[in-house]
């Protein structure tokens, strides 16, 4: 009898798993523990509230339907996390956040936004065609082995305790954009290239963010750019800048050499060759 039941149930369960329709959400809140898998289509804002927790399983596709209610040219779709988020994909089955537009472009949707989140862990995640691939503010989070592409901002943060390692930021307006504001941020073994600006230091940096052992090279306008209100120097030691020639390296910076009101970008102990982002875990002990 039990064997017969298995024979009936297993194909049924398999069929359900394969043919399961996407989970479709409009503006929604999550106040309990939820798990997403398969395809999730969002039209509007999904908020994980303080007492909520969302786990996203490997291979999940989160698709933001085109929506621009205020017609400001920036899509309104977002996943706002005030509670917990664990989005842990795998190399073989990354989690993808993307646009549902027929011809996707940057800012089709707003962002994956961690704001005062209780928990934030992103690994093997691809985030594309957003205003910000991910924004992290006022919380502790890790972002590893992920890819941020075709966004205005790839990874953006302020006032965080953040580890970002082994990520690739490419073909964004800004690969990394931050307002330090007393952050304890450590970015290492990231590959930041082919953006308009590699690292955009907007303002309020006291030179405490540790940005080292990254490849910051081949960005179209500048590898590092100081924002209008960044009068203090910013140090990015031990990175690969695409060249070992100090004069060439300096040409990739927008700082007090263009506008005397700005601080200077300092790049001591520049590396003589690129780092391997995928090996970041092996080098955890090498970085200070």
Partner 1 sequence: MKILKLVLLAFLLAPLTLPVPAVACVGKTIVVGALDTPQQQLLANMLAVLIGERTGTTVKVVPAATHEAAHQALLKAELDMYVGYTGVAQVKLLGAPPLADQAALYKAVKDRFNQELNLVWLEPFGFADPRLAPSGTVAEAAPVVRKDTLKKFPALARLINKLGGTISLETMQKLEAGVKGDNAKDVARKFLKENRLI
How many whole angstroms separate alpha carbon 201 and alpha carbon 224? 7
Number of Cβ within 10 Å of residue 4's Cβ equals 8
Residue nearer to partner 1 on the CB measure, 69 or 288: 69
Residue 37 sits in the site that holds partner 1 (CB under 8 A): yes
Residue 36 sits in the site that holds partner 1 (CB under 8 A): yes
Sequence-distant (6+) residues with CB within 8 A of 148 are 126, 127, 128, 133, 134, 154, 155, 167, 168, 169, 170, 172, 175
**H helix count then E strand count, the chain:** 2, 29
Applying CB under 8 A, the span of 76-84, 91-99, 163-171, 235-243 interacting with partner 1 comes to: 76-84
How many whole angstroms separate alpha carbon 61 and alpha carbon 40? 6
User: Nearest approach, Cβ of 175 to partner 1 (angstroms)?
Assistant: 13
Among 149, 177, 189, 238, binds partner 1 (CB under 8 A): 177
Residue 59 sits in the site that holds partner 1 (CB under 8 A): no
Minimal CA–CA distance to 128: which of 156, 90, 103, 99? 99
How many whole angstroms separate alpha carbon 58 and alpha carbon 66? 24
Residue 259 sits in the site that holds partner 1 (CB under 8 A): yes
Applying CB under 8 A, the span of 9-17, 83-91, 163-171, 272-280 interacting with partner 1 comes to: 9-17
Instruction: Give the binding-site size for partner 1 (rule: CB under 8 A).
Output: 50
Among 38, 58, 232, 274, binds partner 1 (CB under 8 A): 38
Minimal CA–CA distance to 283: which of 184, 181, 165, 204? 165
Which residues are near partner 1 by CB under 8 A? 2, 5-6, 9, 13, 16, 20, 23, 25-32, 34-38, 44-47, 69-70, 72-74, 76, 78, 80, 107, 110, 113, 131, 152-153, 174, 177, 200, 202, 221, 227-229, 254, 258-259
């Amino acid at each position: 009898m039990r064997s017969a039941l298995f024979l009936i149930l297993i194909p049924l369960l398999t069929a359900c798993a394969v043919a399961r329709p996407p989970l479709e959400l409009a503006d929604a809140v999550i106040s309990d523990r939820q798990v997403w898998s398969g395809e999730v289509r969002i039209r509007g804002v999904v908020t994980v509230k303080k007492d909520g927790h969302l786990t996203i399983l490997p291979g999940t596709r989160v698709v933001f339907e085109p929506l621009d209610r205020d017609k400001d040219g920036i899509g309104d779709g977002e996943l706002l996390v005030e509670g917990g988020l664990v989005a842990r994909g795998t190399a073989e089955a990354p989690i993808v956040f993307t646009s549902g537009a027929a011809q996707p472009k940057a800012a089709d949707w707003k962002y994956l936004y961690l704001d005062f989140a209780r928990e934030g862990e992103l690994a093997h995640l691809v985030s594309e065609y957003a205003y910000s691939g991910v924004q992290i503010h006022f919380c502790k989070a890790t972002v590893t082995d992920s890819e941020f592409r075709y966004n205005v901002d790839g990874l953006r943060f302020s006032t965080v305790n953040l580890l970002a390692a082994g990520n690739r930021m490419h073909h964004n307006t800004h690969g990394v954009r931050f307002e330090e504001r007393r952050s304890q941020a450590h970015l290492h073994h990231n590959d930041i290239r082919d953006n308009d600006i590699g690292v955009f230091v907007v303002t309020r940096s006291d030179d405490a963010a540790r940005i080292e052992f990254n490849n910051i090279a081949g960005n179209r306008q500048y590898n590092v750019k100081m924002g209008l209100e960044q009068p203090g120097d910013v140090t990015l030691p031990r990175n690969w800048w695409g060249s070992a020639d100090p004069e060439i390296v300096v040409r990739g910076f927008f700082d007090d050499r263009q506008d005397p009101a700005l601080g200077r970008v300092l790049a001591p102990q520049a590396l003589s060759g690129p780092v391997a982002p995928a090996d970041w875990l092996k080098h955890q002990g090498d970085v200070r």
